[in-house]
């Protein structure tokens, strides 16, 4: 069985896995743990579910058990962006920022347009003062979501931190122009 076949879950369990991700994000850890167990009861070697269960356990204070599950899940699915992201989150929680960034970079190899991973990567690049890489990451976020003001401003800040004041000014002016055009279009549409 290939790794992709192993990762693919039937419809019911796939829906449960989406719920698991949502429960983790909203910090409903006990419900998330039960959901992970439901999936793992039928698919005990589903690497992504093992990693998510491990992440939840680390947040519940069971660090060693959680880390063991994450490592087991990683071994089962080395091509999963979710597994690599979870491993990065664990590393970040242990203040091992360089290793966390390596894990995020690996996760981006498998899902280069994942907004959560890109944001986490940018945060660590800022913390580690890797400003050249930060500009690239912030540009990728802007490319994916150009309608969000925070992405324009974050790219301008990245250029500023990198010492490129001309490009900082250009980004801010470009965003200001886009705002004016949008305001004119809005007035035109509402007045028509």
pLDDT at 180: 83
| Residues 133-154, mean pLDDT to the nearest whole number | 96
pLDDT at position 162 is 97
Alpha-carbon distance values, 87 to 51, 66, 126 (Å): 8, 11, 20
- Cα dist from 155 to 23, 37, 169, 179, whole Å: 31, 41, 11, 16
Average pLDDT over residues 136-154: 96
Q: What is the mean pLDDT of residues 157-162?
A: 98
How far apart, in whole angstroms, are the C-alpha atoms of residue 36 and residue 143? 34
pLDDT tens-digit readout, 68-114: 999 999 999 999 999 999 999 999 999 999 999 999 999 999 999 99
| CA atoms of 135 and 147, how far apart (whole Å) | 18
The model scores a pTM over 0.75: yes
The upper half-sphere exposure of residue 47, i.e. CA atoms within 13 Å in the direction of its Cβ, equals 24
- Give the burial class of 143: count Cβ atoms within 10 A of its Cβ; 0-12 exposed, 13-18 middle, 19 or more buried: exposed
User: What digits encode the pLDDT tens for the residues 170-192?
Assistant: 999 999 998 888 777 666 677 76
The pair of three-digit structure tokens given for residue 73, joined into one six-digit string: 């899940």
Residue whose token pair is 């500023």: 160
What does the chain come to in residues?
192
CB 54 within 8 A of CB 70: yes
- Count Cα atoms within 13 angstroms, Cβ side, for 105: 11
């Amino acid at each position: 069985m290939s790794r992709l076949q192993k990762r693919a879950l039937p419809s019911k369990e796939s829906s449960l896995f989406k719920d698991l991700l949502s429960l983790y994000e909203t910090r409903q850890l006990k419900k998330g743990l039960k959901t992970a167990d439901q999936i793992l009861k039928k698919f005990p070697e589903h690497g992504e579910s093992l990693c998510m269960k491990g992440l939840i356990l680390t947040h519940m204070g069971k660090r060693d058990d959680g880390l063991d599950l994450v490592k087991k899940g990683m071994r089962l699915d080395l091509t999963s962006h979710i597994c690599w992201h979870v491993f990065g989150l664990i590393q970040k929680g242990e203040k091992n920022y360089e290793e966390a960034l390596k894990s995020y970079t690996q996760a981006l190899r498998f899902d280069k347009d994942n907004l959560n991973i890109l944001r986490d990567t940018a945060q660590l690049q800022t913390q580690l003062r890797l400003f050249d890489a930060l500009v690239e990451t912030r540009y990728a976020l802007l490319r994916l979501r150009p309608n969000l003001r925070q992405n324009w401003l974050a790219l301008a800040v990245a250029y500023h931190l990198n010492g490129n004041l001309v490009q900082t000014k250009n980004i801010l002016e470009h965003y200001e122009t886009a705002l004016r055009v949008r305001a004119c279009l809005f007035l035109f549409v509402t007045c028509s």
